[in-house]
Structure 1
Amino acid sequence: MTSPATHFNHAISRRPAASVTGGLRAEDRGAPDLARMQAAHDAYIATLRATGAKVVVLEALEDYPDALFVEDTALCLPEGAIMMRPGADSRMGEVAQMRPTLAGLFDDLRDISGPGHIEGGDILFTGREVLVGRSARTDAEGVAELRIILEEWGHSLRELQTPEGVLHFKTDCSLLDPETVLSTKLLDNGYCFDGYRVLHLPEGEEAAANAIRFNDVVLLPDGFPKTADMLTREGYDIRPIDNTDCALLDGGMSCLSLRFNV
């Protein structure tokens, strides 16, 4: 049985721009290598397409170094799409750039109008509810505005707190199937994932937390053998993807696409 939280027939991604070397980062660990990032992005797109999904790849936006992280611009659900309001000033313009594409795919398109802020990286749709973690990029006002829209569409929202020092809620977790969450022990503090089966990241491999279930495969950052072995033992069909350069910009597997059904 498929779920709208894990099985998709469409995705949207965006090519990294040359300006990505100046993208936002919590800690400066060096600039990403553009050629290597583009090669990894090609592998990511190919993996999505291999599942049978239609993947739209948008052109790079030189004026917006972080624009390849399209997930932060919108939340796509079976009922429609909601345009986000990023918490980083330099990323605000990315939403307007994404809007025409989604307007051509969704009949019901809503907007977070503010004054609050919210980014897609803080939102985990599990099929039964929408988990939203407040963070440095997502505040109470943004969550409250999202809640109003979701309630109209029949979805319940559960507000949580992203741990200090963690950029986005989904930096530290991902949905493996409608009943199972992959999470760091830091995030799984006893109440975040009540009612779900939780698989904890092996010690030292917490950076592998941001994976995505896309149809029948799990895209996982490459270079985390203990996590890969654990998920394989659990029966998941994993596809390792080089995330070396995106990680320098605090990005991961979910950041690189909007995933939905139309």
Structure 2
Amino acid sequence: MTDPTYEFSRAITRQPAASAVDGLRAHDIGAPDLSQLQADHDAYVSALRATGAEVTVLPSLNEYPDAMFVEDTALCLPQGAVVMRPGAPSRLGEVAEMEPALTGHFKDIRRIDGPGFIEGGDILVTGREILVGRSARTDAAGVAELAGIVSDWGHRLREVDTPGDILHFKTDCSLLDAETILTTKRLAASGCFEGYRLIYTAQGEEAAANTIRFNDVVLMPGGFPRTAEQLDQAGYKVVEINNSECAKLDGGMSCLSLRFSSV
């Protein structure tokens, strides 16, 4: 029996566009180098495929600079997919571009109609519940609408607060297995992960918190050796991917893919 929280047969990604240099960012630390961004994306797709998963790579969308961050457009669950409503107005059009790619994989596709908004980067699906962090991109109305949808599928949703200086809830956490979460101490201090097994990012390596457990590997951004060592010592197989250019756009490992199994 597979574990739907981290065992997947499929993923959807999207090629980065030349317009990515104009992507949204909380702090401007420079435009991404497009050749390095593409090379890193290629390595990411290869790492997913190496686990045996089928990976769909959608074409770039130059009119949407942030479109490579596909996770924000949808939530994929075993029972169906929920199309999100991004909190950044410039990203609303990405949803319509993603929906056709989902229709071939999910019989039941629901939509966040608004007026609230919600992005996938604020949603962490664990073995017992769906955690959704309120943020600048996800408001109470969006969370409430999602709660109504997933309750139809038997899921319990719990709303938590994301610290104001963190863009997305999953900027500072990720799921390692159904009961284990990698997190920064600043996020865990809120008590939102009570009852879970926690592994903390090393001091000064908070940017390592956004990883993905994908089948037998944990994909994490490169350059955080102490956190990587902790995960290795905890028994996880770590694959490091350079993330220097995505990080300039507030992106990480989870942002770059939608992950699910065939239904």
**How high is the TM-score relative to the length of structure 1?**
0.99
Q: Is the 8 A contact 2:127 2:179 kept in 1?
A: no
What is aligned with 1:188?
A: 188
Q: CA deviation at 1:190?
A: 4.7
- Residue 187 (structure 1) shift: 0.5
Secondary structure at the aligned position of 2:198 is classed as: strand
Residues 60-100 of structure 1, C-alpha deviations (whole Å, 9 max, x = no match): 00000000000000000000000000000000000000001
- CA deviations 1:128-183 (Å, max 9, x no partner) are 11000000000000000000001110000010000011000000000001111000
After TM superposition, list the pairs within 5 Å mapping 1:53-92 onto structure 2: 53-92=53-92
Question: Which residue does the alignment assign to 1:25?
Answer: 25
Q: Quick check: 1:259 aligned with 2:259?
A: yes
In structure 1, what is the Cα distance between the partners aligned to 2:193 and 2:91?
Answer: 30
Q: Tell me the C-alpha RMSD between the 2 structures.
A: 0.7
Matched, 1:13 2:13: yes
- Residues 13-162 of structure 1 aligned to structure 2 (within 5 Å): 13-162=13-162
Counterpart of 1:222 in structure 2 is: 222
Instruction: Report the counterpart of residue 171 of structure 1 in structure 2.
Output: 171
Describe the SS at the equivalent of 1:8: coil
- In 2: Cα distance, 1:90 partner to 1:53 partner: 31
Secondary structure in 2 matching 1:92:
helix
Query: TM-score w.r.t. structure 2 length?
Result: 0.99
Q: Structure 2: which 5+ residue stretches go unaligned? A: none
% identical equivalent positions: 66
Inter-partner Cα distance in structure 2 for 1:44 and 1:76: 19
SS in 2 for 1:154: coil
Name the residue aligned to 2:238: 238
Q: Which contiguous aligned blocks of 4+ residues in structure 1 show a shift greater than 2 angstroms?
A: none
Q: What count of residue pairs does the alignment treat as equivalent?
A: 262
**Equivalent residue of 2:76, what SS?**
strand
CA distance in 1: counterparts of 2:104 and 2:212, whole angstroms? 25
Aligned to 1:186, the other structure's residue is in SS state helix
1:255 partner SS: helix
